[in-house]
Structure 1
Amino acid sequence: MLLPLTELCALKKLEELDLHHNQFEGILPLCMDNMTSLRLLDISENQLNGNVSSYVVASPKSLEYIDFSYNQFQGRFSISLFANHSKLEVIRFINQNNKLEIETENSLGWAPLFQLKVLELSGCSLNNLSGNVPGFLLDQHELEVVNLSRNKLNGSIPNWLVENNTRLRILDLQNNSFVGHLHWQLYHHMHISWMDVSNNHLKGKLQEDIGRIFPNARYLNLSHNNFEGSLPSSINDMIYLEVLDFSFNNFSGEIPKELVTSCTLLQILNLGYNNLNGEIFLEQFKSPFFEFLQLNDNQFTSIASIPNTSSLLYIDISKNDILGTIPRWLGNMTSLWTLVMANNFFYDQIPCELSARGTIDFSHNLVSGSLPSCLNLPRLEHLYFPGNKLTGPIPKALFNFSSLLTLDIGGNNFSGSIPDEIRELYNLKVLLLGGNHFSGIISDQLCWLSIISIIDLSKNAFSGTIPRCFSNIYFGKISDANYSFLSRKIDPVWLGQGAYSYKGVLEKHVESYDSREYADIKVKVEFVTKYRSLSYEGYALEYMSGLDLSCNKLTGGIPQELGKISSLHAINLSYNELTGSIPKTFSNLFLLESLDLSHNSLSGEIPSSLIGLNFLEVFNVAYNNLSGKVPDFKAQFATFERSSYEGNLFLCGPPLQNSCAIVDTPAPTQPLVVSGNKWHEVDLVVFRTSFLVTYIIFFFSVVSILYIDPYWRQRCSNLIEDFLHFYNCVVFDTLRRLSNYLLH
């Protein structure tokens, strides 16, 4: 939709123009300087484009609030163009298209006439050449909101930025290249409620009195830096704290107990990816709003308890050194959505009290015994127990979890066959049973799982044939939002009405919130394809599909019907006892990226039509009984080396060394039988030439011997005479007897 340009320029007495969050396209009218009464201009969240500097020059000097965020503007301009806008309070340029560059430093120097309250220049390649914090901010003393995030600014964070602006409430400097230490002065930051310096290169220890420096902080994010040392106990002075994120640093020591007793409004605590140790000691947690706890990738050795709050939705204490049994009190978490305790040393058996509504992940522990039939998880969506020591059959009670989307119990010691009741998991999208001791046939009941995307039955002892009905499974061909792999969306953290409110007819609120780290709790699946184990999560998992039946005892031929599953990205049937030919229908698998049929007893030729698989990155038919010419050495097949075909003695053509035989005459030739029951035609030209040469060599060799050696010459003469004498006797004696017989 285009803006009504003529009509806008005619509104000379208009004071507030709010066009945000529409689908307006095109450019702004340059006649806007005629609107001499305009105080507020908000054109954010549209599709407007063009060089933004011309719009700034045309903007009326009466402006107090200007917001050009989230458009398609491009080019380079200087904030100094606003120098004479003496009434300006708000400048907002939040950019996402990476085509806009904003400079604040002028070689001639400039002093603004305005005193800003809000400055948001995010993702604008700010001062791209120097990387300096805007120098004009030295003259600003009334700032309440400063957002300079995602600009690659460097150097140290200037203390004067907050010391000069005692009303500052929001400071967002995330995703830059700031270095050095943080050192803040006491009593200068009483109003700061939101501070984010994450994703920089800051280092050193935090000030012990940081809690008293920011007593009104509600959101504090120092993640993805190089901070070290212990967590200051003064954090307990931040009694209004809602979000504390110190993840991806080098903090060490224990969690201060004051943190869990004083921060009664805390919603999100993320201390993951540090070097914290000791005991997880949180049973005295006082916050009734607590939703998110992440302590993964540390060195905790034990867990006393986790607060029994009705609001707790997410717990991740994976990748620690926790040793012991699985806590029974986890069953008291009635609202728990995600429980991740993977990569620890939990042992013993799984308790019946285990509870969660979205995800349970105990992968890669020491859990033993069998899956208890008393588990009651009717609303569970994702269950992970790979890499443990679980034994026995799959309990039929597990198939009562009809909401299950992911079932991963690979890498254990399960045995028995796949129960027919598995068809009850009709919502299942990922089934990983590889690396166990399952046996028997692959049940046709799997074909009832029609919306499944990934099946891994590898490294078991399955026998029989591959079910033809696998072609009834969609393998990711359809995508339904009801089966999303996003297990939970935790609400973003809001700061009410925000730090600044514009008092006009159209009352505007500048507010900050964060949902980056906490919005999408993504499901992760490990699947072996292209010879390596790859992790698929979130939306990437939605588009992955694969079938892995390798390392079993499957017999019979490869069903032609597999070629109908056009959505498959990976097929692995290697290390079985399959016979017959490679189905020509595989040429219909247009999305296929990996095909491994090696180490079987397949025969016949490789279908030349496979050359049309343009996405194929891995192709392996090694160690079979294939014969004939390999597909032409072009397109994707030009990338496959000899190892893809080795172990097939009667394959020929590039990249193999043995070339295929060429027949010059259409006349039929006598076939030659060779080992392995393979037939090849004799080249007559080669045969006749070799025979003639051999005859000539033999003849002249005999003549030479007789000429040189008289003894052998005499022997040869005697032999000829004896032969003639024998011939005469036989012939004449035979004729004499015949004539006598006829006369009588």
Structure 2
Amino acid sequence: MSDNHFSGRVPSSFDFLLYLQVFDLSNNNISGTLPSFFNSSNLLHVYLSRNMLQGSLEHAFQKSFELITLDLSHNHLTGSIPKWIGEFSQLSFLLLGYNNLYGSIPTQLCKLNELSFIDLSHNNFSGHILPCLRFKSSIWFILLEEYPSEYSLREPLVIASKSVSYSYSPSILYYMTGLDLSCNSLSGAIPPEIGNLNHIHVLNLSNNHLIGPIPQTLSNLSEVESLDLSNNSLNGEIPPQLVQLHSLAYFSVANNNLSGKTPEMVAQFSTFSKSSYEGNPLLCGPPLLNSCTKEVPPPPPPGPSTDEKEESSVIIDAQVFCVSFVVTYIMVLLGIAAVLYMNPDWRRAWFNFIEKSINTCYYFVVDNLLKPFRIRVRKPLV
């Protein structure tokens, strides 16, 4: 019943469909909360994406332990992921992206051994990335051989890969594995154990608050096609071992605090443009414009010896001093003359000052310097 214009709540009459295995109401206008009667032990695939569902997941699907696909993306769900999620031993596709979920990612997800794809993007999850997650790519082949009609996927799923959302048909989903935790509030470092997920095709940790270096172990993701670590606070160098990822078609570490040299432009990395690295001021090397090698200035041409340079500099300095002194003296005199010419009051005061100064100097010389040379005339004795 997908892709219609159904509205309202999910009818409670569905509770009587005891043998229901596939429930698809995706891409409608279904509202309200998830009904608590979704507890059928026969449910295998639930598709409720792109609706207007609200509320939490706490009381829904608690007894649907055989669930393989749970797609509740693009709704308005709130709350955290219930801990009973760890009881879904067959769960392979968990799509909860584009909701308002919060809290930390429950460690119970580490109990799931049959995971193929987890999408928790565009929520408000916080805390650290679980280092214990496991993905298994061969699950579908085993289940199809044993239960071809029961475990085969029935509907396509919309999954973001290479920064674009695609609708993957069931036949392609058998080979699709990945982890999308983008656009949340996750913090801490990227666990090195993520490198053990060597079967995944998509790893998107962008737009979080991750810190620390990029683990060298990511070079073990031999089948990854899309690796996005952009818009975080990662630092350090980009591991050069990443050039071993020969299946990589999309790569981005833009807008971090990375430094050092970009990976060699070989194999798949020769196809990535500067947009994969921009926003890291301390990063250098192609395809970025800033080079890692600083240009050394050429040596100066041969010239006179040091002594000759010192002598010539002394001569030049003396000449410059004399010229500047004469020019300054002339400028001061001209400035005083111009001021006295334009202001008669200052001119009279200046001349009075000069006359007074001359008289003072004259009497000083006469009274002090010429005094020993004066001839004293004695009066004659009578």
TM-score, scaled to structure 1: 0.40
User: Which of 226, 232, 245 is matched with 1:594 structurally?
Assistant: 226
Name the aligned partner's letter for residue 474 of structure 1.
Answer: F
Structure 1 counterpart SS, 2:54? strand
Q: Within 5 Å, which residues of 2 pair with 1:126-145? A: none
Can you list the C-alpha shifts for 1:167-205, whole angstroms capped at 9, x where unaligned?
A: xxxxxxxxxxxxxxxxxxxxxxxxxxxxxxxxxxxxxxx
Query: What is residue 638 of structure 1 aligned with on the other side?
Result: 270
* RMSD over aligned Cα atoms: 3.0
Q: In the alignment, which of 341, 350, 359 is matched to residue 22 of structure 2?
A: 359
User: Of 196, 200, 205, which aligns to 1:573?
Assistant: 205
Change (3 A) 1:478 1:372: closer
C-alpha spacing 1:452/1:714, structure 2 compared with 1 (3 Å): same
1:544 aligns with 2:176: yes
Whether 2:67 is the aligned partner of 1:401: answer: no
Aligned partner letter, 1:661: T
Q: Which runs of 4+ in 1 moved over 6 A?
A: 484-487
Match of 1:533 in 2: 165
Secondary structure of the structure 1 residue equivalent to 2:263: coil
Could you say if the C-alpha distance between residues 659 and 521 of structure 1 is closer, same or farther in structure 2, counting changes exceeding 3 Å? Answer: closer
1:711 and 2:371 are equivalent in the alignment: no
| Matched AA of 2:255 | Y
AA partner of residue 142 (structure 2): A
Deviation digits for residues 422-460 of structure 1 (CA, Å, limit 9, x no counterpart): 111110110000011111100110111111100000000
Map 1:126-525 to 2 at 5 A.
341-354=1-14, 355=17, 357-470=20-133, 473-482=134-143, 488=149, 522-525=154-157
Q: Is the 8 A contact 2:243 2:268 kept in 1?
A: yes
Shift of the 407–702 alpha-carbon distance from structure 1 to 2, 3 Å rule, reads: farther
Shift of 1:475: 3.6
- Contact 1:425/1:449 (8 A) holds in 2: yes
Cα 1:348–1:366 change in 2 (3 A) is same
Distance 1:486 1:386 in 2: 26
Query: Which amino acid counterpart does residue 469 of structure 1 have in structure 2?
Result: C
Deviation, 1:522, is 3.6
Q: Counting strand residues as a fraction of each chain, which structure ranks higher? A: 1
Q: Matches of 2:215 and 2:316 in 1, distance apart?
A: 57
Query: How far did 1:391 drift?
Result: 0.7
- Distance in 1, matches of 2:43 and 2:270, equals 46
The answer to whether the 8 Å contact 1:405/1:483 transfers is no
Distance in 2 of aligned mates of 1:610 and 1:660: 19
- Asked if 2 retains the 8 angstrom alpha-carbon contact of 1:485 and 1:523, the reply is no
Q: Indicate the percent of aligned positions where both proteins have the same amino acid.
A: 43
Please tell me whether the aligned partners of residues 34 and 60 of structure 2 are also in contact (alpha carbons under 8 angstroms). Answer: no
From 643, 658, 673, give the equivalent of 2:290: 658
Task: Quote the Cα distance in structure 2 between the aligned partners of 1:522 and 1:626.
Answer: 43
2:193 is the counterpart of 1:561 = yes
Greater RCO, 1 or 2 (C-alpha within 8 Å, sep 6+) = 2
Counterpart CA distance in 1 for 2:159 and 2:61 is 22
Corresponding letter in the other structure for 1:466: I
Offset of residue 538 of structure 1: 2.6
> Size of the alignment, in residue pairs?
318
Larger proportion of helix:
2
| Aligned residues of 1:399 and 1:425 also touching (Cα < 8 A) | no
Paired amino acid for 1:399: Q
Q: Secondary structure at the match of 2:173?
A: helix
Query: 1:375 deviation in Å?
Result: 2.6
Distance of 2:11 and 2:42 partners within structure 1: 18
Task: Give the secondary structure class of the aligned counterpart of 1:656.
Answer: coil
Q: State the one-letter code of the partner of 2:55.
A: G
The code of the aligned residue for 2:237 comes to E
1:621-641 Cα distance to aligned partner (Å, 9 max, x none):
000000000001111100000
8 Å Cα contact 1:456/1:547 also seen in 2 = yes
Task: Find the aligned partners of 1:451 and 1:589 in 2 and give their Cα distance.
Answer: 18
CA distance in 1 between partners of 2:318 and 2:144 (Å): 91
Q: Is the 8 A contact 2:213 2:234 kept in 1?
A: yes
**Does the C-alpha gap of structure 1 residues 486 and 701 become closer, same or farther in structure 2, counting only changes over 3 Å?**
farther
Deviation readout 1:338-396 (Å, 9 max, x if unpaired):
xxx11211111112222363321111111111011023432121101111111111033
In the TM superposition, residue 402 of structure 1 has moved relative to its aligned partner by: 1.5
Distance 1:481 1:555 in 2: 37
Cα 1:483–1:521 change in 2 (3 A) is closer
Residue pair 1:487, 1:521 contacting (<8 A) in 2 also: no
Judged with a 3 Å threshold, the aligned counterparts in structure 2 of structure 1 residues 459 and 485 are, in CA distance, closer, same or farther, namely: farther
Q: Tell me whether 1:622 sits opposite 2:285 in the alignment.
A: no
Q: CA deviation at 1:485?
A: 12
Contact kept in structure 2, 1:485 and 1:542, CA below 8 Å: no
Deviation at 1:688, TM superposition (A): 8.6
Cα distance in 2 for residues equivalent to 1:462 and 1:618: 25
Q: Does the 8 Å contact 1:475/1:546 carry over to 2?
A: no
Q: Tell me the CA shift for residue 481 of structure 1.
A: 3.2
Q: CA deviation at 1:397?
A: 3.9
Indicate how the Cα distance of structure 1 residues 533 and 541 shifts in structure 2: closer, same or farther if over 3 A, else same. same
TM-score (norm 2): 0.76
Aligned residue type for 1:605 = E
Distance 1:376 1:418, change over 3 A: closer
